[in-house]
A = this chain, B = another copy of it.
């Protein structure tokens, strides 16, 4: 007992508890919806939509990893699983012999197009539509504050 730790106050405790439970339950629910609606996991959807958003539905792998804040290893593993299911394909990179490119397959694109609106609805139903405009903005502010402290791409002073 050399340094008294600053425990959490009741209000802080409440916020912390809210954080824990919200993510636990919300993630679970969104994953459930996504799986039932489209047969995708959340990571699947993230990959598909990140690819779908870019030009020509393809992207350099490390670029994609950086954009998604995923480790290269994680992405590599996940792409392997998705490639096996025919959602994406790997291609060679002309300009860098080490590099590789992932592209949506037709099937991947179709799946994404079908999944997207349902997923948006799910996000609305379980999260966005529960909050009033002020809460939306407040949440964005809070999240960005936390992220800016942690993100490799922001100054963390």
Contacts and interface: CB of A to CB of B under 8 A. Distances in A.
A135 interface: yes
Taking the full assembly, how many copies of this chain does it contain?
A: 2
Interface in A68-102: 69
Interface of A is mostly: helix
A25 interface: yes
Contact of A150 (B17, B29, B116): B29
Interface string A1-32: 00101111001101111110111111111000
Contact of A123 (B16, B139, B144): B16
B138 A135 contact: yes
A142 B18 contact: yes
B120 A11 contact: no
Interface of A: 3, 5-8, 11-12, 14-19, 21-29, 69, 116-118, 120-121, 123-124, 126-128, 130-131, 133, 135-147, 149-151
